[in-house]
Amino acid sequence: MLKTIKNRKTLFVFIKLFLFAAVLFLLYTQISKIDKDQWDAFHIERPMVFVLVLLLVIPNIGVAFLKWKLTLKTIGVDAQKTQRVQSFFAGVVTGMLTPNMLGNFIGRFYYFERKHRIQIILFTLLSNFAQFIASITFGWISILILGGLLVVKNENQFIVWVGLIMIASYLVYFFFENFLVKLRKKKYAKELKSILQKNKNYRFKLLGLSFTRFLIFTSQFSLLLYAFGEEINAELITAIWQVYLLTMIAPSLFLGKIGVKESIALFVLSAIGLNEFSILFTSLIIWTINSFLPAIVGVIVCKNDFQDE
């Protein structure tokens, strides 16, 4: 027994070191894209706005944590505060290494008993899907406001597909338990359907938090560009919504879509006349404060409190 515990602790330390190295590699990859001349040209014209962007990290992470607390409460898991915090940040670390944070359930469910793990996986994926819906909804609104996509040729067919995907996403999100009829013999399917029926407001609350979080991190992006000397207007804000829409649907296999958002941001935002250096620095800083630093916190605070049963 003691040997098993010792081996587990050794494995957990190794995993933390590996994740720490992976996170540092991501940061190095991002920074290496910027040459010396770009660094020399870097300066902040509105320092107080830059400080505001940093402060917005707190509500950004806070809303994500509220989604996690709501999920645990809905499932009926009576978790202690340290358990909620550690599992949340463990999810931040594993999610960062997968496209669109889809792998955040991997870091989370090990902190809970086996009987809750299937529910945690499914409801975490549902929470991720709510964030997907927020991105595609605001992206669609952006398309309508700007009269189309800024960088895609022959866009009419693409716009139709985005609209259809958005409608289908809402239908699946609110009615997907009806598709579980074929799985009625599966215990977890019945439990999932029962939980959703007993908590009819859960998906509305989850969607509201997802919309709020989307507005927070897109506000960070626009405010940071403003701190670098760009002007905020409706065109800029809605163009940023298109950046997140295209980032979400762009293909990527791993590492949190590293480099994808930066490339898309350059294509989209340079099309409305923004300085390329400002776009690049903004993308790097947003990635650092919203993804890299929380992942570092996760590597530090997560403990080997995994549940076996």
Domain range summary for the chain, segments of one domain joined by +: 2-34+58-301
Q: Mark 133-160 as b/e (b = at least 16 C-beta within 10 Å).
A: bbbbbbbbebbeebeebbbbeeeeeeee
pTM over 0.85: no
pLDDT of residue 256: 54
Q: Each residue of 227-273: pLDDT tens digit?
A: 998 999 999 999 999 999 988 877 554 455 556 777 788 888 888 88
Q: Of 298, 268, 299, 294, whose CA–CA distance to 283 is shortest?
A: 268
Q: Do residues 169 and 129 lie in contact, with contact meaning Cβ atoms separated by under 8 Å?
A: yes
Q: Of 17, 25, 27, 20, whose CA–CA distance to 289 is shortest?
A: 27
Burial (0-12, 13-18, 19+ Cβ within 10 Å), 295: buried
Comparing 108 with 225, which gets the higher pLDDT? Answer: 225
The model's confidence at residue 172, banded by pLDDT at 50, 70 and 90, is: very high
Mean residue pLDDT across the chain:
80
Q: Of 207, 232, 8, 227, whose CA–CA distance to 110 is shortest?
A: 8
Mean pLDDT along residues 182-205: 79
Q: Quick one: tokens of 90?
A: 């463990």
Mean pLDDT along residues 69-96: 86
80: helix, strand or coil: coil
164: helix, strand or coil: helix
Q: C-alpha 240: how far from its chain's center?
A: 16
Q: Of 252, 253, 294, whose CA–CA distance to 90 is shortest?
A: 294
Percentage of the chain exceeding pLDDT 70: 76
What is the separation, in whole angstroms, between the first and last Cα of the chain? 15
Mean pLDDT along residues 177-183: 67
Q: Is the pLDDT score of 297 beyond 50?
A: yes
Q: Quick one: tokens of 2?
A: 């003691």
pLDDT of residue 64: 94
A 10 A CB-CB count for 35 gives: 8
pLDDT of residue 94: 82
Mean pLDDT along residues 45-51: 93
Q: Do residues 267 and 151 lie in contact, with contact meaning Cβ atoms separated by under 8 Å?
A: yes
pLDDT of residue 96: 76
Mean pLDDT along residues 209-235: 94
Distance CA 111, CA 167 (A): 35
